[in-house]
Amino acid sequence: MTKVDKKLAVMGGPRLITKSPLEYRWIGQSDIFHLSKMVKTNLLSGFLAQTNESHFGGQWIRKMEVESARVFGTRYSVALNSWTSGLEAMVQAFRLREGSEIIVPPWTMSATVSAIVNARLVPRFVDIEEDSFNLSPDGVLKAINEKTTGILAVDIFGQPCKAKELRKIADDAHLIFMVDSAQTPRACVDGRHSVQYAHAGGFSLNRHKHIQVGEGGIAVTNSEEIATIMQYLRNHAEVTSVNESKFSSLKLIGHNLRMGEMEALLGLKQLIKLDTHVAKRRNWGRKLKNLILEKKLEGLEITLPESYDAHDFYILPMRLNVEKLCVSRNKIASALRAEGVTGVVSEYGKLNHLPSFADFPTENLEVAEELSEKKFLGIYMCGHRFTEKNLRDIAMAFEKVWHSIDALKH
């Protein structure tokens, strides 16, 4: 290291980074123009609980759904007020046997699992793969039993799960395959996104994600029946009992999962620019990865897919060899934060330990536990605009912490 004071900020030394990256701007002037025009129409929601087409939302909802089905390459798309709502509607739409099991990784956000529980199903936690943090197909094969009716995989941090393999496993065992792509709208394997392999899947539009409208979600499927049931569940489902449709016999109990017209308009505008938004995160993520790797820091590993379109960099994930470093992950994370690194993520993937989920069945979760407890370290990429200097500063902060790592041993 040259020119910088080597005493770590966490030990009272000077903070290395004095200028943080700016917040990412999702909303442009043209969005504001269209939004204010829309607001003046006074129609902020087009939904009515009636048996006519207003049951399916207003003009912006429909336009957004047409565009998202096009962008995600599925036949149907359903806009909802969050992806948590999307998960609930999606899992319920399959009407799986009550008490049956859905295989799910513990490395996700709680909504993936609560959607299973709220549909009166039982999550079975299955291990992840160390290099991708995604559900292990081998683990899934071992976990399938007579109670299993589905698999709910996650595309975590911006990297797709092994959706092709998982779909094959699901088909062979007559299971439903769903995917939670909240964090990964574009990345694909062999040119196909995970949702294209799944019976249904979807995306979050909350304030942390690649596209954000405040709160929102998009569920997608190629099944007309599942899309229609999700649409009914979104708007109380009461109209199914007053018309003669084949859905009335399903006795659906719906919710209010409706998205407003303002969010739909913003969502549509951002979907049109989705590739531009994602390309920025991919460029920053790959650049940061390379800058950190150039420092050749012992005991720090970053393994990512080679291909440019195979990671969306919601989070840049890394692994620490804490045995080699003789320093805990949490101490390293605190030291990086103290140097001014924005978006250091260290806690993740402990859903099987949450009191509400702790009694659900688990397979051997060795990899997931080790990553959660000791090895995982990430940098959240989606919320900031990084300049070259911001990225170089972060890499320098890593170098500084590694340079004085002995000081953290005590």
Ligand X SMILES: Cc1ncc(COP(=O)(O)O)c(C=O)c1O
Look up tokens 């300049």; give the residue: 387
Using CB under 6 A as the binding rule, whether residue 154 contacts ligand X is answered as yes
Contact segment (CB under 6 A) with ligand X among 201-209, 220-228, 349-357, 395-403 equals 201-209
Using CB under 6 A as the binding rule, whether residue 118 contacts ligand X is answered as no
Q: Are strands 176-180 and 200-204 parallel, antiparallel or unpaired?
A: parallel
Contact segment (CB under 6 A) with ligand X among 53-61, 129-137, 180-188, 296-304 equals 180-188
Choice between 126 and 391, CB closer to ligand X: 126
Size of the site for ligand X (CB under 6 A): 15
Q: Which of 69, 89, 103, 182 binds ligand X (CB under 6 A)?
A: 182
CA angle at 17 for the pair 13 and 19, rounded to the nearest 5° = 140
Choice between 241 and 356, CB closer to ligand X: 356
Closest approach of ligand X to the CB of residue 216, in Å: 7
- Name the token pair of 65: 């759904």
Closest approach of ligand X to the CB of residue 83, in Å: 3
Q: Which of 127, 180, 339, 399 binds ligand X (CB under 6 A)?
A: 180
Computed on alpha carbons and rounded to an integer, the radius of gyration of the chain in Å comes to 22
The answer to whether 69 touches 219, Cβ cutoff 8 Å, is no
Q: What is the DSSP letter of 382?
A: T
Using CB under 6 A as the binding rule, whether residue 206 contacts ligand X is answered as yes
Choice between 109 and 368, CB closer to ligand X: 109
Q: What are phi and psi of 77, to 5 degrees?
A: -145, 140
251-260 as b/e: b if 16+ CB within 10 A: ebebbebbbb
Q: Which of 204, 235, 240, 342 binds ligand X (CB under 6 A)?
A: 204
Q: Are strands 101-104 and 300-301 parallel, antiparallel or unpaired?
A: unpaired
Choice between 74 and 114, CB closer to ligand X: 114
Look up tokens 């700016």; give the residue: 22
Look up tokens 């990225």; give the residue: 391
Closest approach of ligand X to the CB of residue 384, in Å: 17
Subset of residues 45 to 74 that bind ligand X, contact rule: CB under 6 A? none
Closest approach of ligand X to the CB of residue 293, in Å: 26
Q: Which of 21, 57, 158, 217 binds ligand X (CB under 6 A)?
A: 217
The answer to whether 120 touches 273, Cβ cutoff 8 Å, is no
Site track for ligand X across 75-114, x = CB under 6 A:
-------xxx-----------------------xx-xx--
Residue 32, Cβ neighbours under 10 Å: how many?
A: 11
Contacts of 80 (CB under 8 A, 6+ apart): 86, 89, 216, 217, 218, 219, 230, 234, 257, 258, 259
> Interface residues with ligand X (CB under 6 A)?
82-84, 108-109, 111-112, 154, 180, 182-183, 204, 206, 208, 217
